[in-house]
């Protein structure tokens, strides 16, 4: 791991634990094992570190989860839809970087408009947009009943966000949350899919 990567990793951990304002460049440097002035060889300052973290998390999320611009291959069956949804949810819940970033953003969303927008994107509008497109595509293939795809996307994703938030707050409930999520996704498919 390069020094730059170590700076980013430690900064994200500190931001998630202490908040952005509660973390200093000196603390980040100390956790990395360097002097604060050495950190400036890699970043202009704390905001530059934050911007790099947001860019990395956005790229990682886009690659492994997707978005309304990158929905991937449409599932061809109910089981494939469920499997794909559970894989995406599992990534969201278990990826260390995404988990820390979510904890950080949830904490900071009320103090910073940019963080609020990113949080809304990943917990509501972005995921809803992606699933709207997936459901629309599957409706065209006759796999979903004709209905309001945006409303269905909200119906399938909103409870998932609540269970993820519960698992974040209470890690001992993670298994229970995953079981509830899978049960919910299966029920949603039983109700709205044609097969």
Parent domain of 142: 65-192
DSSP per residue, 2-50: -HHHHHHHHHHHHHHHH-STT--HHHHHHHHTS-HHHHTTT-SSHHHHH
Q: Do 161 and 96 have their domain in common? A: yes
In a domain, 34, yes or no: yes
pLDDT digits (tens, 9 = 90+) for 134-185: 999 999 999 999 999 999 999 999 999 999 999 999 999 999 999 999 999 9
Closest CA to 15 of 53, 55, 60, 62: 53
In a domain, 60, yes or no: no
Question: In Å, how far from its chain's centre is CA 112?
Answer: 18
Q: Do 39 and 83 have their domain in common? A: no
- Count of positions (residues) in the chain: 195
In a domain, 168, yes or no: yes
Q: Which pair of tokens denotes residue 169?
A: 């707050």
Q: Do 158 and 84 have their domain in common? A: yes
Question: What Rg value do the Cα atoms of the chain yield, rounded?
Answer: 19
Query: How many domains would you assign to the chain?
Result: 2
pLDDT digits (tens, 9 = 90+) for 39-79: 999 999 999 999 999 999 989 988 988 888 888 889 999 99
Q: Do 169 and 73 have their domain in common? A: yes
Alpha carbons 80 and 58: distance in angstroms, whole number: 25
Q: Do 124 and 149 have their domain in common? A: yes
Q: Do 86 and 42 have their domain in common? A: no
Q: Do 89 and 175 have their domain in common? A: yes
Alpha carbons 84 and 18: distance in angstroms, whole number: 34
Residue 46, domain CATH: 1.10.10.60
pTM, to two decimals: 0.85
Question: In Å, how far from its chain's centre is CA 64?
Answer: 10
pLDDT digits (tens, 9 = 90+) for 78-104: 999 999 999 999 999 999 999 999 989
Task: Specify whether the CB–CB gap between 155 and 188 falls below 8 A.
Answer: yes
In a domain, 71, yes or no: yes
- In this prediction, residues 6-12 reach a mean pLDDT of 96
Q: Do 83 and 166 have their domain in common? A: yes
Q: Do 92 and 179 have their domain in common? A: yes
Q: Do 47 and 70 have their domain in common? A: no
């Amino acid at each position: 791991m390069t020094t730059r990567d170590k700076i980013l990793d430690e900064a994200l951990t500190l931001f998630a634990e202490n908040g952005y304002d509660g973390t200093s460049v000196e603390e980040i440097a100390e956790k990395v094992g360097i002097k604060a002035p050495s950190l400036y060889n890699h970043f202009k300052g704390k905001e530059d570190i934050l911007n790099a973290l947001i860019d990395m998390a956005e790229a990682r999320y886009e690659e492994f989860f997707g978005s309304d611009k990158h929905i991937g291959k449409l599932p061809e069956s109910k089981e494939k839809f469920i499997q794909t949804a559970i894989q995406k949810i599992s990534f969201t819940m278990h990826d260390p970087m995404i988990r820390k970033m979510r904890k950080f953003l949830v904490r900071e969303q009320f103090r910073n408009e940019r963080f609020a927008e990113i949080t809304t994107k990943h917990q509501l509008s972005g995921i809803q947009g992606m699933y709207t497109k997936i459901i629309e595509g599957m409706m065209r293939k006759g796999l979903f009943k004709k209905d309001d795809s945006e409303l269905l996307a909200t119906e399938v994703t909103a409870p998932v966000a609540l269970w993820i938030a519960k698992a974040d707050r209470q890690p001992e409930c993670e298994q229970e949350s995953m079981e509830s999520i899978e049960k919910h996704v299966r029920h949603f498919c039983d109700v709205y899919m044609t097969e």
